[in-house]
């Protein structure tokens, strides 16, 4: 954020102290801090699109474009953290969630943190780290919380007379575009489905919603240079696409909250969850565990979580067959306090005294208490 933007934002808050509209949290001013929302790990899954056809030129495949933009949108969303960011080689300044180590998908910081706590690397294994105490199929602790599938049912650029290129639910635009052509309107029809990757079951879905906006972009079709995917990375088009995706993600959050109405719809306590990544580390008689989630998920040192070992019933071979049942074991609960935080993993020290209950890989992780400072008493 530029300095001028920060100054303008601060001035805005100072002008409205009674309304309490300060959401950013400036410790130097008595402003209310924004509530810390934990980000849930998700993966980008299937994205259905259609190619764009412009006259006789080669079809323009937009799947990589929309996946890349969806990756950026998830990265910047308050509720989600993307585990498999998508890169587009032509665009130079893409946001990366971490400096990814090619061998293990962890950042260098995460890799070193896990090694410091005694997790054993095994280069011959498909997974970087071996579990020592449990025979647990890797999918039960490596899978994300949700896989997000998308349907791009409409992707259409038109001018004021409704000539253009793209497709919509009603059909495909195959107009003859000649000379310098100005596009004035962009339409995106977009919907998201959240899938439980282990159960392979839809958890929540948003209907395809039309996001439409005026734009001011042009292309010269008379220079014998075919339009390419690079054209759609213009700021005006990227903004419309990302805005539509953000609104769909917000609708997905609302769907997830609606489904927990019976127990409350607090995101941190009732909806957010993670998993224990590996078996207990060698840090004092199995007193520590690694969980998925770090600074990218807004986890901090001192946060308290409970872990619940999971009971999985497979139809056949684990991870290779249908998962019939997945429930937490209410008799295998531990509590941990986070003492080290990486980019996408954290280390928690087990607080439970009952040593008969050992935290297993794949255990569900739920929030107990965020380590937030006690609000200062404003009374003198």
What CATH number is given to the structural domain containing 182?
Answer: 3.40.50
- What per-residue confidence (pLDDT) applies to 25? 43
Q: Which pLDDT does position 359 carry in this prediction?
A: 87
Let me know if residue 266 belongs to a domain.
Answer: no
Structure-derived torsion over alpha carbons of residues 300, 301, 306, 311, reported in degrees to the nearest 10: 70
**The last residue of a domain, from among 258, 288, 318:** 258
Q: Which of 234, 258, 282 is the last residue of a domain?
A: 258
Domain boundary among 215, 230, 258: 258
Q: Is 99 inside any structural domain? A: no
Tens digit of each residue's pLDDT, the chain (380 residues): 433 333 344 333 333 333 333 334 444 444 456 789 999 999 999 999 999 887 777 888 999 999 999 999 999 999 999 988 776 543 333 333 333 333 446 788 998 888 888 775 444 344 444 455 556 788 888 889 999 999 999 999 988 888 888 898 888 887 777 788 889 999 999 999 999 999 999 999 998 888 889 899 988 887 667 888 999 999 999 999 999 999 999 999 999 988 876 677 799 999 999 999 876 665 655 688 899 999 999 999 999 999 999 999 999 998 889 999 999 999 899 999 999 999 999 999 998 766 678 888 899 999 999 998 876 664 44
CATH number of residue 301's parent domain: 2.40.10.410
Q: Are residues 250 and 207 in the same domain?
A: yes
Q: Do residues 14 and 61 both lie within one domain? A: no
The pLDDT value given to residue 3? 36
Do 309 and 282 reside in the same domain of the chain?
yes
Residues 72 and 169 in one domain: yes
Structural domain of 13? 1-34
Specify the pLDDT at position 189: 94
In-domain check, residue 127: yes
* 125 and 158, same domain (yes or no): no
User: What is the per-residue pLDDT for 303?
Assistant: 97
Confirm whether 377 is domain-assigned: no
220 found inside a domain: yes
Please indicate, yes or no, whether residues 153 and 280 belong to a single structural domain of this protein. no
Domain count, the chain: 3
């Amino acid at each position: 954020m530029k300095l001028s933007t920060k100054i303008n934002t601060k001035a805005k808050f100072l002008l409205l102290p009674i309304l309490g509209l300060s959401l950013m949290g400036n410790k130097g001013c008595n402003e209310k801090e924004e509530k810390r929302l934990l980000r849930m790990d998700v993966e980008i899954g299937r994205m259905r699109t259609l190619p764009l056809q412009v006259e006789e030129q080669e079809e323009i495949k937009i799947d990589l474009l929309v996946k890349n933009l969806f990756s950026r949108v998830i990265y910047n969303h308050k509720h989600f953290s993307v585990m498999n960011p998508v890169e587009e080689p032509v665009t130079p300044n893409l946001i990366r969630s971490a400096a990814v180590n090619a061998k293990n998908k962890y950042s260098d910081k995460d890799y070193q943190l896990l090694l410091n706590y005694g997790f054993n690397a095994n280069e011959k294994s498909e997974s970087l780290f071996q579990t020592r105490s449990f025979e647990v199929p890797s999918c039960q602790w490596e899978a994300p919380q949700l896989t997000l599938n998308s349907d791009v049912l409409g992707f259409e650029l038109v001018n004021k007379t409704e000539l253009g290129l793209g497709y919509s639910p009603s059909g495909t635009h195959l107009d003859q575009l000649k000379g310098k052509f100005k596009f004035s309107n962009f339409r995106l029809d977009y919907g998201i489905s959240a899938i439980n990757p282990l159960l392979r079951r839809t958890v929540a879905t948003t209907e395809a919603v039309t996001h439409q906006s005026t734009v001011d972009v042009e292309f010269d079709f008379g220079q014998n240079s075919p339009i390419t995917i690079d054209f759609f990375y213009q700021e005006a088009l990227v903004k419309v696409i990302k805005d539509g995706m953000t609104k769909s993600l917000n609708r997905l959050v609302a769907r997830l909250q609606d489904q927990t109405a019976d127990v409350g719809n607090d995101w941190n306590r009732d909806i957010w969850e993670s998993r224990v990544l590996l078996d207990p580390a060698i840090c004092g008689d199995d007193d520590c565990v690694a969980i998925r989630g770090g600074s990218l998920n807004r986890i901090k040192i001192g946060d308290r979580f409970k872990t619940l070992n999971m009971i999985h019933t497979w139809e056949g071979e684990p991870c290779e067959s249908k998962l019939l049942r997945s429930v937490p074991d209410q008799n295998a609960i531990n509590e941990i306090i986070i003492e080290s935080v990486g980019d996408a993993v954290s280390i928690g020290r087990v607080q439970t005294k009952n040593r008969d209950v050992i935290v297993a890989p794949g255990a569900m992780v739920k929030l107990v208490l965020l380590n937030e400072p006690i609000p200062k008493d404003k009374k003198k």
